[in-house]
Chains A and B, each alone.
Chain A
Amino acid sequence: MCLAVPMKVTSIENDMATADYMGTETRACTAFLPGVKVGDYILVHAGFAMEVLDEESALEALKLWKELEDLSFDKTEPKLVEEKSIELA
C-alpha cells in the first residue's frame, strides 16, 4: 500500500502525478503537495504523494555521518542486505 522508496515524478496533470521507480509506474494524487514538479523525488502512500525529498538536507545529513571519526571495528563483517523496496501495510 505504501512504498518507502522514493519515486521520480515524470509528469503531472491537474492534481495527478505519474511517478517512476526503476520502470514501475505509479499514479499519485498531489493534493498535499501543490508545489511538486517533474523531476522531484516523492514518497507515495496509498495513491497520494506525501512529501518531496529534499536533496540538500540529504546531502547535509550524509556529510555529517561521513565526517564521523573512523573507529576500528571488530572483525565480524556486518551483513547488510541491499533493499529494493519496503512495503508498508
Chain B
Amino acid sequence: MNWLEEFKSPQLSQKILAQIKEYDLPYTFMEVCGTHTVSILRSGVRSLLPKNIKHISGPGCPVCVTSQGDCDLAVEAASIPNICITTFGDMLKVPGSKSNLAQARSEGKHIEIIYGPLDALKYAAEHPEIQVVFLGIGFETTAPTVAATVKKAKEQNIDNFSVLSFHKIVPPALNALLSTNPKIDGFIYPGHVSTVIGIEPYRDVLRKFNKGGVIAGFEPVDILSAILELLKMKQSNQPSVINNYSRAVRDEGNPNALKFINEVFAAEDAEWRGMGTIPESGLGFRDEYKKFCAKTKFNLKSKKSVDPPGCKCGEVLQGLIEPYQCPLFGKACTPIKPVGPCMVSSEGSCAAHYKYGKM
C-alpha cells in the first residue's frame, strides 16, 4: 500500500518544511486531537518547525477533558452493589476528588477494561445477573459507536446494559477556546472527529470568529502540509476551512454515523476539565433511549468539580500555558503518579510533553 506509506516520506516532508521556512510570519496553531499531539511530538515535526511557528495542544484528549465531578460519579457508580463498570483502560487512573477507578478496582469493585462498547454489550448479554455500565468517554468519533451499541441493546432487549455518557462534542469547545485565547491564529482540526462531522461545523466557527483551519491526517506529510496551508491563509489574510485529509474525510462527514448519534443522543451542556461548563457541548440520551442512561437508571447526580490543588490542566488545555510551565510538571506530577488528567492518558498534553518534548 505504497500510496499510504508516502504520507510518511522524509523527502516530501523536507520539501514542505523548506516551503514553511519561506514564510516569516508569527503563527500560533492549536491542534485539538490527542493523536495529533502525539504524532507532532513523536515524529519530531515540532522540533523542526521554525521559531516563528508556535504549536499548542488543546483539549483533544477525551480522557483529559473529563471533569473531576464526572470521575467522582464513575467511582460512585462503581460502588453500587451488583454493578460492573466497563471502560477504556485510560480512564482508570484519572483522578477524582478522593479516589479513582484504579483504586476502586483494587478495593474489589467490579471494573472491566474493554476494547469498545460492543464488547461491553456482549459482556452484559453473557452476565444477565449483573448491571453492566459502560463509561461513554470520547468525542464525535466514539459517540456513534456508543449510539450504535445502545440501539443494538434496544433491539436485542438487553436490559442490564446502560451508559454513563460523558461524551463531548468538539465545535462548541472551539468557540469557547477562541473566546478565551485570542492568541490562536488557526486550528489543525481533528482528523477522526472530522470523518464523522465533515467540514460544515468548522465553517460556523469561521463565520463567528473569522478563524479558520485545516483538517489533517496523522503522518508527517499531513501535518507539515497543513501548517503550510495555515501560513498561506494568514499571509493572504483569508481564513478558510480546508480539508487536507480528503482520503479519509468527506466534506459531508459520515452521514450514517451522524444518524446514529442523532437518533440516540441530543446535545446538552457539559463540564470540561478546567474549562467549566460549555453550552451544548455534551451528549445526553433522548427520551426513547432513556432506559439506557445510567444517570437516570441509578439516580446518579452530577458532582461539583474541585480540581486538584496546583494542577494547571485547565490552562494547559486552553493553550494558555505550556505543560512545563506548570510547577508540578515532572516533579510532583509524572505519568507514574499523575496529579491531573493531562498526565494520565498517553495522549494528554502533559504526558506527551513529558515523554517526547524538549524543554
* Contact assessment for B225 and A65 in the assembled complex, using a CB-CB cutoff below 8 Å: yes
Q: Known contacts A61-B244, A65-B12, A72-B18; is A50 also within 8 Å of B1 by CB? A: no
CA distance A34 to B259 in the complex (A): 13
| B145 lies within 8 A of chain A by Cβ | yes
B116 — nearest CB in chain A belongs to which residue?
A: A47
Interface members, chain B 209-231 (any A CB < 8 Å): 218-221, 225
* Contact assessment for B219 and A1 in the assembled complex, using a CB-CB cutoff below 8 Å: no
B248: A residues at CB distance < 8 A: 43, 51, 53-54
Interface members, chain B 301-359 (any A CB < 8 Å): 345-347
CA distance A21 to B44 in the complex (A): 24
Q: Known contacts A48-B148, A82-B8; is A68 also within 8 Å of B15 by CB? A: yes
Shortest distance between the CB of B43 and any CB in chain A (Å): 6
B240: A residues at CB distance < 8 A: none
Interface members, chain B 40-89 (any A CB < 8 Å): 42-45, 48, 61-63, 88
Shortest distance between the CB of A49 and any CB in chain B (Å): 10
Return the CB mask of A44-83 against B: 1 if under 8 Å, else 0: 0111101101110111111001101111111000111111
| A9 lies within 8 A of chain B by Cβ | no
| B14 lies within 8 A of chain A by Cβ | yes
B248 — nearest CB in chain A belongs to which residue?
A: A51
Which of A58, A60, A68, A82 has the most chain B CB atoms closer than 10 A to its own CB?
Answer: A58
Chain A-chain B contacts (Cβ-Cβ < 8 Å), number:
164
Shortest distance between the CB of A23 and any CB in chain B (Å): 14
B48: A residues at CB distance < 8 A: 78
Interface members, chain B 8-51 (any A CB < 8 Å): 8, 10, 12-19, 21-22, 34-35, 38-39, 42-45, 48
* Contact assessment for A88 and B10 in the assembled complex, using a CB-CB cutoff below 8 Å: no
Return the CB mask of B184-224 against A: 1 if under 8 Å, else 0: 00000001100110000000000000000000001111000
A57 — nearest CB in chain B belongs to which residue?
A: B246
Which of B12, B142, B145 has the most chain A CB atoms closer than 10 A to its own CB?
Answer: B145
Contact of B119 among A4, A47, A82 (CB under 8 A): A47
* Contact assessment for A45 and B16 in the assembled complex, using a CB-CB cutoff below 8 Å: no
Return the CB mask of B104-147 against A: 1 if under 8 Å, else 0: 00000000000111110000000000000000001001101100
Interface members, chain A 14-59 (any B CB < 8 Å): 29, 31-34, 41, 43, 45-48, 50-51, 53-55, 57-59
CA distance A74 to B18 in the complex (A): 8
| B90 lies within 8 A of chain A by Cβ | yes
* Contact assessment for B13 and A55 in the assembled complex, using a CB-CB cutoff below 8 Å: no
* Contact assessment for B345 and A8 in the assembled complex, using a CB-CB cutoff below 8 Å: no
Q: Known contacts A81-B44, A86-B218, A89-B61; is A45 also within 8 Å of B192 by CB? A: yes
B7: A residues at CB distance < 8 A: 58, 62
B221: A residues at CB distance < 8 A: 62, 65
A13: B residues at CB distance < 8 A: none
Shortest distance between the CB of B152 and any CB in chain A (Å): 9
B39: A residues at CB distance < 8 A: 4, 83, 86
* Contact assessment for B117 and A2 in the assembled complex, using a CB-CB cutoff below 8 Å: no
| B6 lies within 8 A of chain A by Cβ | yes
A41: B residues at CB distance < 8 A: 1, 4
* Contact assessment for B246 and A61 in the assembled complex, using a CB-CB cutoff below 8 Å: yes
Contact of B256 among A2, A32, A62, A66 (CB under 8 A): A32
* Contact assessment for A31 and B19 in the assembled complex, using a CB-CB cutoff below 8 Å: no
CA distance A66 to B39 in the complex (A): 22
A-B complex: 5 closest residue pairs judged by Cβ atoms: A47-B116, A46-B116, A71-B18, A58-B247, A73-B18
Contact surface of A with B, Cβ cutoff 8 Å: 1-2, 4, 6, 8, 29, 31-34, 41, 43, 45-48, 50-51, 53-55, 57-62, 65-66, 68-74, 78-83, 86-89
A-B contact pairs, 7 of them (CB 8 A): A32-B257, A46-B88, A50-B196, A71-B21, A81-B43, A87-B347, A89-B345
Q: A80-B220, A83-B8, A88-B34 given. 9 additional CB < 8 A pairs?
A: A1-B88, A43-B248, A47-B116, A47-B118, A50-B141, A66-B15, A78-B44, A80-B45, A86-B42
